[in-house]
Amino acid sequence: MNLALILDVAAGGLLLGGLYALIAVGLNLQYGLLRVLNVAHGEFLMLGGYLTYLLHVNAGMDPLVSLAVSVPVVFAAGVLVHTLLYRRLLRQERTREELEANSLLISFGLLFILQNAALLVFSADMRGYQYLDRPLRMLGTVFPTNRVVAFAVAAVVTALLMLFLRGTLTGAAVRALMQDPVGARLVGVRVPRIHALCFGLGAALAAVSGSLLSMLFELTPFVGLPYTITALVVIILGGLGSVGGSLLGGLILGVVEALGVYFTAPDLRMVISYGVLALVLVLRPYGLFNSMARRPGQAEGA
Amino acid sequence: MRNAIARRTFLKLAGGVTAATWLPRRASAQGPIRIGFTLSATGPYAVGAGITQRPNYDLWLDQVNAKGGLAVAGGGRRPIVFVEQDDRSELETIVRSYEKLVNDDKVDLVLPPWGTAANFAVAPITNKAGYPMIGPTVGSLKLKDLNLPYFYAILAQPDAMMLSLANFLKDVKRQQKLNKVAVIYVNDLFGLEHHTALMPLLKEGAFEVVEEKSYPLGVKDLTDVLKGCKAKGAEILIGLSYPPDTILMTTQAKAVDFNPPIFYTAVGTAFPFFRDRFKGSAEGVMGVGAWNPKVSFPGAKAYFDAHVAKTKKEPDRWASAFAYASLQIIEESVAKVGLDRAKIKAHIDATEFTTVAGPIKFAKGVNPATPGMVGQWQKGEFEVVWPPERATGKAIVPKPNWAD
């Protein structure tokens, strides 16, 4: 076995894993805090991708610069969606099961609306552009430049989010709400505002991922759902509600997929990722890195 | 459910009222000709359907009705209306819709849905009901096994397509000594059948196959596979691919600096999107096909211009023209024998048609009159470069380097 080649393949997996992580962190932020499983997450990703595409192709804006537009726009859209659809639902919350079921229905509806709206506006035609698609030679091998750039941006954004959660008062409020909603309310955390912020942030992170992915892959109105599913695998892998877990889960999934595919066949990619998922579910049902793992008896009161 | 029943009852009543007011006026009961089909407006098939079939159906409808309708043998011209719906890219919906079209709605004629799988699902239904159907987006040798006399595939099928590619490669080999081939194919009926057809031909041509790998539909990364091909010194890359992976393969080959003298990809290469997406880097890329407005067949250029005028986009350089040709065949058959579907079938079986895609003559449900062809992007046009008798341009080998 050629060690250099294996490292090369693993590095390729790491690059894609960085993007998986970014997508999953956004979804996990929403789920961890609001207990809202937003299956339309990939649709916000799709919107971010189309915004970047439009700005790049029509206005000649650099895709990375376009983040300055796509992120605030999708953040605002996320806050709006939260205000219009989820706020009332969260206020009326009776049991967690009811909330999860109802929010799932809402996000399915949202998925269809956003997808079909994109279909009306952009049609089903594939959209894409060339950006930094030249080889980048580093560490004695060759990588597509745009993948390395996308990974770097994803890493920076994830790091910023972690800093925000750990280093700011608002971030502390978010973490407090995740750990103990009742306690957080008691010490004066303004729950609706934090909820709106986190839903918006989740959507904005999806938009960043979408903008980055538009540099690598073609866009259609249907690109979102597969990423939502990958993100679900990642957050289950890393632990529901654990941002750090999602980060590591994404990277691990990327590397395991790349190596697994290299040693078997590209056809088996899905088998490999679901295999990893099944293994984790059997061995560590609350995820690999879930520091807040609830023990079965504790789950109901949380 | 209650709503659906109420709506159906309403439609029946409405239909009855309409018929009652309509019948006395025209004793022959001749309304418009109703042509039924489903196309995917949503879901994964929507991309292909929107490129290859939808524009041609719409264009044809406009053109025929502008002439006063479809000429029916012995009955003058009658306008056509489409009885259509979005099938959401779901095979169950497609099957149910066609069952309804032929059994309940009893439309006069049907047009096919998009894609090999959908046509496979529907063909037994339309065949049983005696509706002739010509599929412009069907590529599979298994078709013959189904033995469906009312179903026709108009594109060159995998055996013909790969034979043409192999003959082209042999010709190149004689002149330029290119010998090392890498074959990458999508793990799906399309990729598998083309792969099966191609490999014995490569062996027969004494090519050295240095890499042979499949990948799944929806693949997100082919860099490792392409790096492998490059490391093994492949001089000819053959990608038996679908549109998203065709784009991915090309992007990533460029990104890992893999520029073999022959770079061939399959479905999607002939889309104008490909040229617009890759600009200078499209130059010299070869693909399955092919058709362009420079071919010498009657009406080809006029069709191209009408397509652009109607849809504001160019037709793709492969199956679009064949989709339109299938409509020309229906139009001509109805003009010759009327709307009796058995007679239409007999006419299709017996006739060599002149279309924008060249002469077409069916034999046992396939169209051997159209050979497999190889196309190549050259200065913004997808030139037909093989076989020589169909060529609109000369192949450029080796392909130029990827543009910056």
> Where in chain A are the domains?
3-301
Instruction: Supply the DSSP string of A166-233, one letter for each residue.
Output: HHSHHHHHHHHHHH-HHHHHHTT--HHHHHHHHHHHHHHHHHHHHHHHHTTS-B-TTSHHHHHHHHHH
Q: Could you say which of 3.40.50.2300, 3.40.50.720, 3.20.20.70, 3.40.50.150 is the CATH number of the domain covering B2-157+298-360?
A: 3.40.50.2300
pLDDT at B67: 95
Q: Are the Cβ atoms of B221 and A258 closer than 8 angstroms?
A: yes
| A13–chain B nearest CA distance, Å | 9
Residues A77-103, mean pLDDT to the nearest whole number: 86
Q: At what angle do helices A224-238 and A96-122 cross, to 10 degrees?
A: 150
Q: Are the Cβ atoms of B225 and A266 closer than 8 angstroms?
A: yes
Residues A240-247, mean pLDDT to the nearest whole number: 85
Chain A residues contacting B via beta carbons under 8 Å: 8-9, 12, 16, 115-116, 119, 123-126, 128-130, 133-135, 142-147, 216-218, 220-222, 226, 258, 261-262, 265-267, 269-270
Q: Are the Cβ atoms of B257 and A270 closer than 8 angstroms?
A: no
CA–CA separation, A195 and A82 (whole Å): 8
Taking the Cβ of residue B276 and every Cβ of chain A, the question of whether any pair is shorter than 8 Å is answered with: no
Name the more confident of A278 and B97: B97
Q: Residue A128: left if φ>0, alpha if ψ -120 to 50, beta else—which one?
A: beta
pLDDT at B26: 44
pLDDT at B146: 84
Q: What are the chain A neighbours of B226 within 8 Å (beta carbons)?
A: none
Q: Number of CB pairs < 8 Å for A and B?
A: 98
| B14–chain A nearest CA distance, Å | 31
Q: What are the pLDDT digits (tens) for B7-41?
A: 555 555 555 555 544 444 443 457 899 999 999 98
> Phi first, then psi: what are they for B53, rounded to 5°?
-110, -50
Instruction: Look at residue A239 and tell me whether its pLDDT is greater than 50.
Output: yes
Three-state DSSP at B80 gives strand
pLDDT at A274: 87
* Token pair for B62: 């406009």
Instruction: Look at residue A275 and tell me whether its pLDDT is greater than 80.
Output: yes
| B13–chain A nearest CA distance, Å | 32
| Cα separations in angstroms, A224 against A35, A221, A280, B314 | 21, 7, 25, 28
Q: What are the chain A neighbours of B46 within 8 Å (beta carbons)?
A: 119, 124, 220-222
Q: Are the Cβ atoms of A135 and B224 closer than 8 angstroms?
A: no
State the SS3 of B168-199: HHHHHHHHHCCCEEEEEEECCHHHHHHHHHHH
Q: Are the Cβ atoms of A124 and B244 closer than 8 angstroms?
A: no
Of B220, B243, B251, the CB nearest to A126: B243
CA–CA separation, A246 and A25 (whole Å): 6
**A200 within 8 A of A41, measured Cβ to Cβ:** no
Q: What are the chain B neighbours of A116 within 8 Å (beta carbons)?
A: 42
| B185–chain A nearest CA distance, Å | 11
Q: What are the chain B neighbours of A8 within 8 Å (beta carbons)?
A: 224, 227
Q: What are the chain A neighbours of B281 within 8 Å (beta carbons)?
A: 130
Select the residue from A56, A113, A133, A273 to test the B interface by mutation, using most B Cβ atoms within 10 A. Answer: A133
Q: What are the pLDDT digits (tens) for A125-175?
A: 889 999 988 888 887 788 889 999 999 999 999 999 999 999 999 999 998
A16-20, A249-253, A264-268, B267-271: the lowest-pLDDT one: A264-268
Of B47, B255, B404, the CB nearest to A220: B47
Note which residues in 119-178 of chain B have CB less than 8 A from chain A.
none
- The pLDDT mean for chain A works out to 87
**B39 within 8 A of B113, measured Cβ to Cβ:** yes
pLDDT at B8: 57
Domain spans in chain B, listed from the N-terminal domain onward = 2-157+298-360, 158-294+372-390
Of A125, A216, A217, the CB nearest to B273: A125
Q: What are the chain A neighbours of B47 within 8 Å (beta carbons)?
A: 124-126, 220
Name the more confident of B289 and A61: A61
Q: Are the Cβ atoms of B50 and A123 closer than 8 angstroms?
A: yes
Q: Are the Cβ atoms of B220 and A116 closer than 8 angstroms?
A: no
Taking the Cβ of residue B259 and every Cβ of chain A, the question of whether any pair is shorter than 8 Å is answered with: no
**A139 within 8 A of A6, measured Cβ to Cβ:** no
Q: What are the chain B neighbours of A134 within 8 Å (beta carbons)?
A: 254-255, 257, 404
Q: What are the chain B neighbours of A229 within 8 Å (beta carbons)?
A: none
| Cα separations in angstroms, B240 against B60, B261, B265, B318, B370 | 31, 17, 6, 15, 20
Degrees, nearest 5: CA angle B277-B280-B282? 60
**A42 within 8 A of A226, measured Cβ to Cβ:** yes
Q: What are the pLDDT digits (tens) for B142-162?
A: 877 888 999 999 999 999 999
**Region A3-301: CATH code:** 1.10.3470
Q: What are the pLDDT digits (tens) for A161-192?
A: 999 999 999 999 998 888 888 888 899 999 88
Nearest to A238 by CA among A166, A293, A275: A293
* Token pair for B142: 């298994």
Which residue of chain B is at minimal alpha-carbon distance from A125? B47
| A16–chain B nearest CA distance, Å | 9
Of B216, B248, B257, the CB nearest to A142: B257
Q: Are the Cβ atoms of B216 and A147 closer than 8 angstroms?
A: no
Above pLDDT 90, what percent of chain A? 51
Q: Are the Cβ atoms of B47 and A124 closer than 8 angstroms?
A: yes
Of A116, A126, A146, the CB nearest to B273: A126
Q: Are the Cβ atoms of A262 and B43 closer than 8 angstroms?
A: no
Which residue of chain B is at minimal alpha-carbon distance from A112? B42
Q: Give the pairing of strands B381-386 and B373-378.
A: antiparallel
- Low-confidence residues of chain B, pLDDT below 50? 1-2, 4, 20-28
pLDDT at A298: 43
Q: What are the pLDDT digits (tens) for A24-38?
A: 999 999 988 888 889
CA–CA separation, B40 and A174 (whole Å): 43
**B133 within 8 A of B362, measured Cβ to Cβ:** no
This prediction's pTM: 0.83
Note which residues in 190-229 of chain B have CB less than 8 A from chain A.
213-216, 218-225, 227
Q: Residue A60: left if φ>0, alpha if ψ -120 to 50, beta else—which one?
A: left
Taking the Cβ of residue B404 and every Cβ of chain A, the question of whether any pair is shorter than 8 Å is answered with: yes
Q: Are the Cβ atoms of A142 and B227 closer than 8 angstroms?
A: yes
Q: Could you say which of 3.40.50.1000, 2.60.40.10, 3.40.50.2300, 3.40.1390.10 is the CATH number of the domain covering B158-294+372-390?
A: 3.40.50.2300
Of A124, A128, A222, the CB nearest to B247: A128
